[in-house]
Amino acid sequence: MLETPSKYTLVAAAAEGPTRLNAFDNALLAAGIGNMNLLRVSSILPPGAVETEKLDMPQGSLLPTAYGAIESEQTGELIAAAIGVGIGDDDQCGVIMEFSGRCSAEDAEAEIRRMLEAAFVERGRTLKEMKIRSSAHRVQRIGCAFAAAALWY
């Protein structure tokens, strides 16, 4: 069994690239997690996890990550991605929600708020705090908007 992460970092960035994959990779680099091996996870924040501003792991590390991303080749299109964590008023796990779409950063953040509120209602818990990060990008050629919660030790 893997160790339960005790820290998390919220990141969001956008970038262009010559291909969709390069745009995605460039957005990861801009977000500060481009030299990690992302392990996509579902949306639970471990109990007691502490937010840190900067990721401090060796390059190539396996990094559990919940993320939203969108790539587009439509010149002029506005794309956005957002990530949010909801923290309750108890010692239980938190909830992570991710979103990406053809919208503004403000619209993506509003969707994250709605999803976090719904997740806590479904769990019968009180939502005490939300932390949200987002990125938006007006596509020039091939672009990507990315937002993530990186969970680490």
Tell me the catalytic residues. 37, 42-43, 98
Q: Are strands 143-152 and 62-72 parallel, antiparallel or unpaired?
A: antiparallel
Please say whether the beta carbons of 71 and 144 come within 8 A: yes
Largest CA distance in the chain: 46
Alpha-carbon distance values, 64 to 11, 31, 37, 39, 109 (Å): 13, 15, 9, 5, 22
- The conformation of residue 113, written as its DSSP 8-state character, comes to H
Specify the 3-state DSSP secondary structure of 25: helix
